[in-house]
């Protein structure tokens, strides 16, 4: 079993983040477990290499001790996601955080159109982050502007979609797999895909499956990690 010294020298933990947890909550839970069960100092360094929204599950890379210096490097690696688009409706947050605000026809959509439309999103694209995101505008997070009912001009950003695959079509649902660069918003991809297909779309499920060579198949739940520390005592 790993010791307190091992965690201070540096570890990369592959955590499978559960639904409805923030990434911050997951890291805090791990930090508290390490401090209380291994007697690590309260100033023990720990952090994650890329946020997952509360409504997303999957791979969270958590660096401890000296390995927190590797967070920037890990954040820059390509990420793989799987999930579901709901076609024919949009929400202000582009996902299930907010209620449907508009509905659209899907009568014209068939498998061929879906597969043809994804080609528009391969390679480098311009993407506008969702208004319900943690990016700051004039020192205030965008989601705070959104919740206050304020209209904010959001600049587009360059991002790269390396792979975009449709894995199931059962309208109004479409399942997908995407491999993308750092800073890609899958919620924005859902919204933009809906517009490109002549309808609307929002994200109803999202799971991060890979970051670089790290795979969620090798990840563990926070509770399983906590329990594993008990055997050290």
DSSP characters over 43-70: T--EEESS---TTEEEEEEEEEGGGGGG
- CB of 117 closer than 8 Å to CB of 197: yes
* 221 within 8 A of 18, measured Cβ to Cβ: yes
Which residues, other chains included, contact 170 with Cβ-Cβ below 8 Å and sequence gap of 6+? none
What letters, b where the CB count within 10 A reaches 16 and e where it falls short, cover 180-189?
Answer: beebbbbbbb
Nearest residue to 197 (alpha-carbon basis) of 83, 122, 110, 136 = 110
Of 19, 171, 183, nearest to 85 (Cα)?
171
Q: Which residue reads 């750092």 in tokens?
A: 182
Active-site choice (6, 16, 53, 215): 53
Annotation marks residue 53 as catalytic: yes
Active-site positions?
A: 53
């Amino acid at each position: 079993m790993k010791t307190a010294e091992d965690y201070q020298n540096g570890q990369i933990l592959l955590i499978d983040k559960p639904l409805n947890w923030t990434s911050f909550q997951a890291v805090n839970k791990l930090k508290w477990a390490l401090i209380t069960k291994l007697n690590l100092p309260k100033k023990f360094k720990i952090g994650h290499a890329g946020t997952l929204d509360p409504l997303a599950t999957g791979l969270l890379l958590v660096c401890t001790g000296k390995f927190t210096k590797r967070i920037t490097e890990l954040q820059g690696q390509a990420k793989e996601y799987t999930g579901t688009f709901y076609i024919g409706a949009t929400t202000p947050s582009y996902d299930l955080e907010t209620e449907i605000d508009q509905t659209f026809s899907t009568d014209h959509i068939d498998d061929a159109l879906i597969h043809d439309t994804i080609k528009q999103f391969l390679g480098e694209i311009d993407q506008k982050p969702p208004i319900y995101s943690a990016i700051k505008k004039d020192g205030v997070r965008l989601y705070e502007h959104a919740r206050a009912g304020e209209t904010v001009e959001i600049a587009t950003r360059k991002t790269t979609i390396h792979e975009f695959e449709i894995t199931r079509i059962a309208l109004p649902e479409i399942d997908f797999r995407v491999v993308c660069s750092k800073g890609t918003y899958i919620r924005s991809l859902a919204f933009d895909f809906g517009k490109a297909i002549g309808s609307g779309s929002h994200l109803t499920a999202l799971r991060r499956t890979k970051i670089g060579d790290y795979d969620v198949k090798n990840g563990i739940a926070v509770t399983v990690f906590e329990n594993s520390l008990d055997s050290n005592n």
